[in-house]
Amino acid sequence: MSMGAGRLSGVGVFDFDGTLVDTLGEISSALNRVLAKHGRRSLSEAEVKILVGRGPQTLLHRAWGATGKSAAGKEVEGLTEEYFAEYGRSNSGMSRPYAGVDDGLRRLVQRGWRLGICTNKDGATVRKLVKKLGWDRWIRVVVSGEDSVRKPDARPLRLALSRLKAGRGRHLFVGDSGVDRETARRAGVEGVFVGYGYGERDGTEERYFGAAVELLSWMGRAGP
């Protein structure tokens, strides 16, 4: 995808949950506390893994449907606010980068890649964790669900590319879900699917990697 003239540049935009960081423990813990407040049963991490992918409101809507009478509209909005409050109290130590990500991001920047994040997760949470992990040295742009419309609409990814000043060169979007695959397709960006996160492979992926270290090593070798 080209977004204007200029020198060749490699731009890599990543989804967050299930792509760079395993946050399933935090998500499950916060969600189950909200469910418990409303007399609902807890969900296992395996169950929660199936529900994530389109942002917090969708997560709460799906969780309510999975545990009893569904919720909609204003009720889901209220439940989402409760979830944000609980997530803020979660043990952030439960979220861990996938093996190889720290070193891989550093090496990509050294090779000339410009890096960003495009996620449906709330931006305050993502930026806080990016800073805590020390990744704000390398990841300059975070586009979240509230900054634009949500994936799989192409606009948030295009916004991330614009903020990264993507010119001529290789542009990648890396994610772990069908939503991410569709976002890349709609934006006309080379899509990369990772199989270690929360989504499932369906055979339509342009590129597939089963481990973060494999993905980042390939990006380093391929170059920008």
Do 68 and 169 belong to one domain?
A: no
How much is the pTM?
0.85
Query: Residue 207: what pLDDT?
Result: 94
Active site residue 15: yes
Same domain (yes/no): 17, 37? no
Question: Is 4 contained in some domain?
Answer: no
Checking if the pLDDT of 155 tops 70, the result is yes
**Is the CB of residue 21 less than 8 Å from the CB of residue 52?**
no
> Based on the domain organization, do 128 and 187 belong to the same domain?
yes
Work out how many domains the chain is built from and give that number. 2
Reply yes or no on whether the pLDDT at 3 is more than 50: no
Mean model confidence pLDDT for the chain: 90
Between residues 8 and 213, which one has the greater pLDDT? 213
- The average pLDDT across 59-69 equals 96
> What is the structure's pLDDT at 78?
96
Q: Do 171 and 216 belong together in one domain?
A: yes
Straight-line distance from the first to the last Cα atom of the chain, in angstroms, rounded to the nearest whole number: 13
Give me the catalytic one of 15, 17, 176, 180. Answer: 15
Q: Strand runs (DSSP E) across 16-170, as ranges?
A: 21-22, 96-97, 113-118, 139-143
Assigned domain for 218 exists: yes
- Residue 41 shares a structural domain with residue 99: no
User: CA–CA separation, 224 vs 162, rounded Å?
Assistant: 17
The pLDDT tens digits of the residues spanning 97-151 come to 999 999 999 999 999 999 999 998 889 889 999 999 999 999 999 999 888 788 9
Q: Is the pLDDT of residue 4 over 80?
A: no
Looking at the structure, tell me whether residues 104 and 196 fall in a common domain: yes
Query: pLDDT-derived band of residue 91, with 50, 70 and 90 as boundaries?
Result: low
Domain match, 214 and 184 both: yes
The answer as to whether 172 is a domain residue is yes
Answer yes or no: are the C-beta atoms of 13 and 117 closer than 8 Å: yes
CATH number at residue 172: 3.40.50.1000
- The domain of 176 spans 10-22+95-222
User: Does 224 or 182 have the greater pLDDT score?
Assistant: 182
Q: What is the pLDDT of residues 172-220, one digit of tens each?
A: 999 999 899 999 999 999 999 999 998 888 888 889 999 999 999 999 9
How high is the pLDDT of residue 82? 96
Q: Tell me how far apart the alpha carbons of residues 30 and 80 are, in angstroms, rounded to a whole number.
A: 11
For 34-73, b/e burial (b = at least 16 CB within 10 A) is bbeeeebeebeeebbbebbbbbbbbbbbbbbebbeeebee
Phi–psi pair at 142, nearest 5 degrees = -125, 120
